[in-house]
Structure 1
Amino acid sequence: MGRENQTWVREFILLGLSSCWETQLSLFFLFLAMYLVTVLGNFTIILLITLDSSLQMPMYFFLSVLSFVDICYTNSTVPQMLVHFLSARKSIPFPSCVLQLHVSLTMGGSEFFLLGAMAYDRYVAVCHPLHYTVIMHGGLCLGLAAGSLGAGFMNSLMQTTIIFRLPLCRNVINHFACEMLAVLRLACADISVNRVMVAISGFLVIMLPCSLVLFSYGHIVAAILRIRSAQGRSKAFGTCASHFTVVCMCFGTAIFTYMRPAASSSAEQEKMVALFYAVATPMLNPLIYSLRNKEVMSALRRVLRKLSETR
């Protein structure tokens, strides 16, 4: 039955954020500016970490991977959303919808695991500084990054497969993208199993990394409070403040969307939270890490100085 229904669902219609042309035009320019800042900011982070030898550290390696994930996540949804702001008919072909959902879930899941790995890195740096280089060696960093991407990919593959095997009775999605919960609302079959899988996935992909982050920062705060000098405490807090800010944004939006009871969630609320996660969070990540980080700003000045000298 599912296969038969899916043969005629050749495309989906996205309702987007507004049906008013003036509003859509304003949103187009707003989100275009945010998209350009996102891509430029994250690409700059990757370029700086690659070119500047002083940033060849585990913390910045994870930051470069996070920037790559943010670029991929943003590109999975925002360019299409920008095109739809200028389109009378907001359609997306069935294969493109499947790919969009798969990529966004992969990158979203990978980001949670990466934030957990980054929290562990900060825990080792603050609580075991003398053994930091031994513990956080290159092989472990590569393994954690690859494991984060692999876990995100496998979770996304499972979710995407079971969602699009459902019989879909409608093709109008009340969202600006092919988002998991929005697509599930199109099914004309019992989705209780899918709800259970979303809950299990949320626990494994969101709550477990979140627990690791909380565990790490609990030990970090305890270690920092034992530092006698105010300058030492300030420096230790400074190395973790940027990461913790990003953690609060990412995990907060995800828990609000996927870990609430189904009855308490609405399509409009999910749309707004997804918009913040897809557009605002990837844009803010490089700004938070760069503006609050003296080493990144110093690296930027060095790279700009070298570029000016070569001209």
Structure 2
Amino acid sequence: MENYSYNSFILQLEGFSVTKDSMYPVFCLFFISYILIMVLNLGLLVIIFVDKNLHQPMYLLLCNLSVSDIIGSTHILPRLLADILRPPSERLISYYECVVQAFTTQFFSSTSHTLLMIMAFDRYVAICNPLHYAVIMTNKMLIKLTVSAWGVAFVFVWILLGLTIRLNRCRTLIMNPYCDNASLFKLSCEDIFINNVYGLISTVVLLTFSIGSMVLTYAKITVVCLTSKNKSLNSKALKTCSTHLVVYLIMLITGFTLVVLHRLPQYLDSRKLSAILFVIIPGILNPIIYGVQSKEIRKLLFEIFQSKLCLKLCKR
């Protein structure tokens, strides 16, 4: 039963409803998922940092995506793992901690969109204007694009949370495994019309620019590939663009599913699972997809594996 307390600074996370029999399997599943996210993304960062041949705009932008995935998983999964082992009555969180978690959640989600938009622009320049790529995608341009990706997301989310913080709270129960903006402003008994309008507008604007840039970019790339007889160019375009598109669709589908389920209270358990999968699925698949697609990364991993294998054989 939900508690009512005016502007309480201690909130309760509902979390997952797991039985004693399923508690440890669920814990192990999420723990393994978190370890995979950290190992894959940190491994990708180290590989790109170590190999100077990978110090290219595409891979440096990929580093930003890995950092975003690490932030998105680290602020959610460790806390979730601890809550799974706690009884529901002890899943408490301070209001300030909840606000920080909600901000990071929305920031991580928005930044993923803006980063993938910039990566699409990078692929467009590389395929459609290969001779001018080095002139356009300079270090200065790369820094501007990166700062813009994080900065735009920060401003959007700062206003979003600012509108939520101004509300008085009369409830204490967060109907979610972790804090996000929607769960936070639902604690208020005041009129949340402005929050809903701004949230809807910001989501529409972000998705319009995101999807619009993808459609426009890939339409131009498709035209270039169809009019070009360069098989090498077409093969390169197919590999890089298919990888980027798959990553984008994974993020879009998981995010859109979560947004829809937030508006359907009868599917509460599905929304909770979707909220976690929104973090886990892209976090695991992004580095795998890019790692498998990249010839340079595959080559470096093969050399590392081969050298370790030789060392083992020599010791014998």
Q: Structures share a fold, TM > 0.5?
A: yes
Q: Distance in 2 between matches of 1:269 and 1:190?
A: 27
Q: Distance in 2 between matches of 1:270 and 1:60?
A: 33
Kindly indicate whether residue 77 of structure 2 is the aligned counterpart of residue 78 of structure 1: yes
Q: Distance in 2 between matches of 1:225 and 1:30?
A: 45
Which residue does the alignment assign to 1:125?
A: 126
- In structure 1, list runs of 5 or more residues that go unmatched: none
Q: Distance in 2 between matches of 1:112 and 1:134?
A: 25
| SS of equivalent to 1:13 | strand
Moved over 6 A (4+): 305-311
Contact conserved, 1:18 with 1:24, CA < 8 A, in 2? no
Q: Distance in 1 between matches of 2:154 and 2:266?
A: 26
Shift of 1:308: 8.6
Which residue does the alignment assign to 1:12?
A: 11
Q: Provide the aligned length of Structure 1 versus Structure 2.
A: 306
Contact conserved, 1:210 with 1:251, CA < 8 A, in 2? no
Change (3 A) 1:309 1:96: farther
Which residue does the alignment assign to 2:168?
A: 167
Q: TM-score, normalised by structure 1?
A: 0.90
**Cα deviation per residue 1:133-173 (whole Å; 9 max; x = unaligned)?**
11111111111111111112222221112112212221111
Contact conserved, 1:41 with 1:283, CA < 8 A, in 2? yes
Which residue does the alignment assign to 2:35?
A: 36
The sequence identity of aligned pairs, in percent, is: 26
Change (3 A) 1:269 1:221: farther
| SS of equivalent to 2:93 | strand
The letter for the 2-side match of 1:291 is: V
Contact conserved, 1:54 with 1:299, CA < 8 A, in 2? no
Contact conserved, 1:52 with 1:303, CA < 8 A, in 2? no
Q: Distance in 2 between matches of 1:292 and 1:144?
A: 24
Change (3 A) 1:40 1:273: same
| SS of equivalent to 1:247 | helix
Kindly indicate whether residue 22 of structure 2 is the aligned counterpart of residue 23 of structure 1: yes
Contact conserved, 2:103 with 2:181, CA < 8 A, in 1? no
Change (3 A) 1:95 1:214: same
The letter for the 2-side match of 1:23 is: S
| SS of equivalent to 1:169 | coil
Contact conserved, 1:107 with 1:149, CA < 8 A, in 2? no
Contact conserved, 2:103 with 2:180, CA < 8 A, in 1? no
Shift of 1:304: 5.7
Which residue does the alignment assign to 2:228?
A: 227
Q: CA RMSD in A?
A: 2.5
The letter for the 1-side match of 2:77 is: V
- In structure 2, list runs of 5 or more residues that go unmatched: none
Q: Distance in 1 between matches of 2:280 and 2:262?
A: 25
The letter for the 1-side match of 2:298 is: M
Change (3 A) 1:309 1:164: farther
Shift of 1:305: 6.3
Q: Distance in 2 between matches of 1:113 and 1:125?
A: 19
Q: Distance in 1 between matches of 2:121 and 2:196?
A: 31
Q: What are the within-5 Å matches in structure 2 for residues 56-95 of structure 1?
A: 56-88=55-87, 89-95=90-96
Shift of 1:282: 0.8
